[in-house]
Amino acid sequence: MDVEISQSELSGTARAPPSKSYTHRAILAAGYSGGALVFDPLISADTKATMRAVDAFGGDVTDTGEAIEIDGFGGEPTIPGDVLDCANSGTTTRLVSGTAALVDGITVFTGDASLRSRPQGPMLSAIDQLGGRGESTRGNGKAPLVLKGPISGGTVSIPGDVSSQYVSALLMAGALTDEGVTIDLETELKSAPYVDITLELLDDFGVTAEKRDGGYRVDGGQFYEPSDGEYHVPGDFSSISYLLAAGAVAADDDERVRIEGAYPSAQGDTFIVDVLDRMGADIEWNRNDGVLTVRQSSLSGVTVDVGDTPDLLPTIAALGAIADGETRIENCEHVRYKETDRVAVMAKELSNLGASVEEEDDALTIYGDESNLVGSVVDGHGDHRIVMALAVAGLAADGTTMVADAEHVDVSFPDFFDVLYDLGAGVQR
């Protein structure tokens, strides 16, 4: 699907979509339990992959429209009856790799071409260290994967600079082992707030895990038992970032864009509020009511470290192309291992719109004073975050911008273009 975005003026109220990160973890945690209801979930292509995985391991997952009703497998996953296809969801692959390590037998994972290009080696190594078996069928540390359990727990040593999801997977599964799991990090942990999300959610499901010097620890023999048998998913700040950015660059002169459902949580991507404030945006956050408001503002470039918030790089890059001065995004090499190489892709597509961009191995610099955004044809590269960030840039570009591959917003924000249209954006499919 191709979507045309015209230079627009926005106003009105939007509601934050539910968090994809919390939804993934809540579905799996409910699967690990005897059963639970997950309210306010994000139903998207990625979270459906996790729902299918819980089904495959012996759970029963039903989307009732009001909640996801999950009859869990009580900490004892069974061998899937077929190869587990995780589609484009790297989060599903990594989180449920831990589930496969608990199974007394063999599980085979695969996914689409993008997923089969992403590194999984640290998780394979961790399973080996815990007494299981983890192999890549092509011997390159990437899917298709063959995993064999059961593991009983122990100590693992893994790098922290590839993906924090390995840590989350081991903590979630480790609670169900006999001995528990101790994780020693060989390098600094990137995207650490995502592990904070996992710790927060585990606590909500009655499981105790802790951060310790140089790593993490979860005791074994625990049970997943959410309070009152239910869990409520908070709003997603990764998705909120696009709405805030859209308001900051395109809100009507006399109006504000208001975003509801923006309650504080462990999400690292709440950092976007600080970034916009530093850039000079007229932004307010009522944390008690979960309401953010933003007005179109004259933005100035800043330097931002995205080591802990890799999903914000596309949003910040789009803002940098509209802001005055230099916006430098640092500590971003790990952002190259997402659905796409988001550093290279944003550099290419913003350049196509007329931005002046310099790409380095671990940094992306956008020179706003040398940029003049003009509507053009840009490619979403099958990546939901690239699509939404380019749409934000299109709101401020002269003329009309056509974003190809735009249907991939279904991964995390299926109603994104409808929300933009309701706020007054010129959107044409």
Residues of the chain above pLDDT 90, percent: 92
- Res. 254 pLDDT band, cuts 50 70 90: confident
**Co-location of 29 and 177 in the same domain:** yes
What is residue 398's three-state secondary structure? Answer: strand
Kindly state whether residues 289 and 172 are assigned to the same domain: no
Considering 147-156, 252-261, 330-339, 408-417, the range whose residues carry the highest mean pLDDT is 147-156
Query: What would the mean pLDDT of 111-115 be, rounded to a whole number?
Result: 94
Is position 90 annotated in a ligand binding site? yes
Mark whether 182 and 253 lie in a shared domain. no
pLDDT at residue 337 in the model: 87
Tokens describing residue 6: 């015209």
Q: Which two tokens stand for residue 79?
A: 């061998």
The domain boundary, picked from 232, 254, 284, lies at: 232
Q: What would the mean pLDDT of 126-153 be, rounded to a whole number?
A: 97
For 9-45, the pLDDT digits (tens) are: 999 999 988 999 999 999 999 999 999 999 999 999 9
Q: Is 338 marked as binding a ligand?
A: yes
Q: Strand, coil or helix: what is 357?
A: strand
Percent of the chain whose pLDDT exceeds 70: 100
d(CA 365, CA 289): 36
Do 331 and 375 lie in one domain? The reply is yes
223 and 252 belong to one structural domain = no
- Binding site annotation covers 94? no
- Whole-angstrom distance, CA of residue 75 vs CA of residue 32: 5
Task: Give exposure, 376-392, as e/b (b: 16+ Cβ within 10 Å).
Answer: bebbbbbbbbbbbbbbb
7 assigned ligand-binding residue: no
> Would the annotation count 235 as a binding residue?
no
Average pLDDT over residues 382-395: 97
pLDDT of amino acid 195 = 96
- Answer for the pair 311, 383: CB distance below 8 angstroms, yes or no: no
| 15 annotated binding-site participant | no
154 and 273, same domain (yes or no): no
Same domain, 162 and 75: yes
206 and 71 housed in the same domain: yes
Question: Is 336 part of any known ligand binding site?
Answer: no
Which strand ranges, in their side-by-side order, compose the sheet holding 230-232? Answer: 60-63, 67-71, 36-39, 230-232
Domains of the chain: total = 2
Would the pLDDT of 251 be above 90? Answer: no
The SS3 call for residue 6 is strand
Question: Considering the entire predicted model, what is its pTM?
Answer: 0.82
Element (H, E) at 409: none
Q: Are residues 266 and 353 in the same domain?
A: yes
**What is the predicted pLDDT for the residue at 84?**
97
Q: Residue 365: is its pLDDT beyond 90? A: yes
CATH number, position 225: 3.65.10.10
Indicate if the pLDDT at residue 191 is higher than 90: no
pLDDT surpasses 90 at 255: no
Domain of residue 310 covers 3-17+235-428
Average pLDDT score over the chain: 96
Tens of pLDDT, residues 78-87: 999 999 999 9
Backbone angles phi, psi at 356, to 5 degrees: -95, 115
Q: What is the mean pLDDT of residues 85-105?
A: 97
> Do both 179 and 272 map to the same domain?
no
- CB-based contact 353:376 (threshold 8 Å): yes
Name the domain boundary from 232, 261, 278: 232
Do 189 and 266 belong together in one domain? Answer: no
DSSP strands (E only) in 233-281: 257-260
Task: Please compute the mean of the pLDDT values over residues 218-225 and round it to a whole number.
Answer: 98
Please give the positions annotated as active site: 311
pLDDT in tens, 267-282: 999 999 999 999 999 9
Query: Distance between alpha carbon 151 and the CA centroid of its chain, in Å?
Result: 28
Statement: residue 159 has pLDDT above 90: yes
Residues 263, 131 share a domain: no
Query: Is 138 labelled a binding residue?
Result: no
Pairing relationship of beta strands 303-305 and 326-330 according to DSSP bridges: parallel
**In sequence order, what are the beta bridge partners of 39?**
67, 232
Q: Does the pLDDT of residue 2 top 80, yes or no?
A: yes
The string of pLDDT tens digits covering residues 295-306 is 999 999 999 999
- How far CA 193 is from CA of 40, 163, 165, 202, in Å, comes to 21, 12, 11, 14
Boundary of a domain, candidates 185, 210, 232: 232
pLDDT score, position 330: 98
